[in-house]
Each structure stands twice: as structure tokens, then as C-alpha cells.
Amino acid sequence: MAPLTDCMKHNIFKWTETAEKSFQAIKKAMTEAPLLILPDYQKVFEVDCDASKVGIGAVLSQEGRPVAFFSEKLNDTMQHYSTYDIEFYAIMRSLRQWRQYLIYREFILYSDHEALRFINGQHKLNRRHARWVEEL
């Protein structure tokens, strides 16, 4: 999606070869997308988050079957954040996105960023991390 959103920067629309390839890939993915299931509030939800230098993504699922997908392109400022910050942001953004499913319920959170496992053991946090830990 990033090449498509880049076409609309600065109030100028410019279609590029990269945007065309991205558009075709999205069309293909949407026609072959897995079926979403309806949430079952008697079962445990699973949130699987990941991040890259250009965006974040997550899947809300139950018993390995997708309930919802979420992705977001990072703005220019966020693309310069550390990997730790971007991975933490991916978690927070996903939990906010699916708050209505997860609040007051047990759920499992998956992230491939090992350092985040120790966030509660840190004695000093910057303001952003402190806000996010408090929100959790």
C-alpha cells in the first residue's frame, strides 16, 4: 500500500510503475484473501503484531483463523524510530484497533521482538513508553 499512498503526497497525484505493481498485488491478494470468521466471545482471542521500517500490521484471530486484519503505513517521522519503538507502537496500535474485542477478556499477544518481553522489568522508561505501559 505504501507506493499507492505515496502517489498522493503533497497534493500531487503521480502514478508510477511501483504503484501499478503494488495495485496489482493488492487486487490479487483481495481476490485470494482468506475468509474471516465471526468472533466467538467464548473463545480466546489472539493478536499477532509485526512491524517494518515502513509500516505495521496485525491479525486478530481465534484458533488460528482470522477475525480481522489491520495495517498502517508509518509517517516519515515514525520511520526513523528505533525498531523497539516501532514494534511497541505496532502492539499498542493493534490493541487500540481491536479494543472492543479485547477489553475485559483474556487474549494472547504475539510479537517477534524479544526485548519487549521485559518492558515491565525496566526501571526507567521514556515518556512514550511509560504512557503505553500505563495504557496496557
Comparing 58-62, 106-110, 119-123, which segment has the lowest mean pLDDT?
119-123
**Which pLDDT does position 96 carry in this prediction?**
92
**Which pLDDT does position 119 carry in this prediction?**
67
Question: 20: left (phi > 0), else alpha (psi -120 to 50), else beta?
Answer: alpha
| DSSP output for 76-136 | TTGGGS-HHHHHHHHHHHHHHHTHHHHTTS-EEEEES-GGGGGGGG-S---HHHHHHHHH-
Whether residue 94 has pLDDT greater than 90 = yes
pTM of the entire predicted model: 0.69
DSSP class of residue 105 equals S
The string of pLDDT tens digits covering residues 35-50 is 899 999 999 999 999 9
